[in-house]
Amino acid sequence: IFVANKLDPDGEIALDTAQAHYLLNVLRLSEGAEFLTFDGTSGEWRAKIVKARKSACTIRLTEKVREQTAPTGIHYAFAPLKQARLDYMVQKAVEMGASLLQPVITQHTAVPRLGADRMKANAIEAAEQCGVLTLPEIKAPVKFAAFLQAFDKDRALVFCDERAEVASPLDALAALSGRKVTALIGPEGGFSENERADLLSRSFVCPISLGPRIMRADTAAVAVLALLNVTVGDWR
């Protein structure tokens, strides 16, 4: 269970109302109950509820269970999608080890605005489910041109291009072994011709095809992040 307050091994930690409600009323835990918790920076701890009131809860850490894991080098840049698909995509990106989520506003992006709190809530839920101890950094949306302009040239940008004529995506990814990689997925309407030409003109861009069928953006996200997770993912 993620706790927003910094975990202090030597003291009692008062949870915020939302967490107290979740522990006491949703999970129906009571005083003396133990659970595993993390705050995103201090590793994983076993904790015990030492005080439970109507909507107030204080815990104490009893045992360190896992050391903090370093964030992976895998970043995920994506054109925002409509809410349900975006929720799904954020959760899958966390499960696949993405340590940074960068929304990119492209010409055909059809989403008026992005709920950062909702993205964070989905990231926390996915981290709790899959045992990730570092929450991904969720960046503010940037426009496509600004994204490319500011891109860290030491990284490789894996451009998921349904029109790529790359012989073998696996060879292309194998050539990136040891590099920090950002995956880029377009909107449901795809990248515009100009955006695609701009991407293909950059030396740090590595276009890959994910196969002959056109996937929905959230499907393509799982496909490419699963590939990155088992090829360049620095968890081994």
| Residues at the site binding ligand SAM, with contacts judged by CB under 6 A | 160-162, 185-186, 188, 190-191, 209-211, 213-217, 220
Q: How far is the CB of 142 from ligand SAM (least distance, A)?
A: 17
Identify whether the C-beta of residue 180 lies closer than 8 Å to the C-beta of residue 158: no
Q: Which is nearer to ligand SAM, 15 or 185 (CB)?
A: 185
Nearest approach in angstroms of CB 139 to ligand SAM is 18
Shortest spacing between CB 184 and ligand SAM, in angstroms: 7
**How many angstroms separate the CA atoms of 130 and 114, rounded?**
24
How far apart CA 202 and CA 103 sit, in angstroms, is: 20
Pairing between strand 75-78 and 100-105? parallel
**Closest by CA position to 79, among listed 233, 221, 228:** 221
In the complex with ligand SAM, the residue whose CB is nearer, 2 or 76, is 76
CB of residue 211 vs ligand SAM: minimum separation in angstroms? 5
Q: Which is nearer to ligand SAM, 18 or 214 (CB)?
A: 214
Return the number of the residue (85 or 179) whose C-beta is nearest ligand SAM.
85
Euclidean distance between CA atoms 88 and 205, whole angstroms: 26
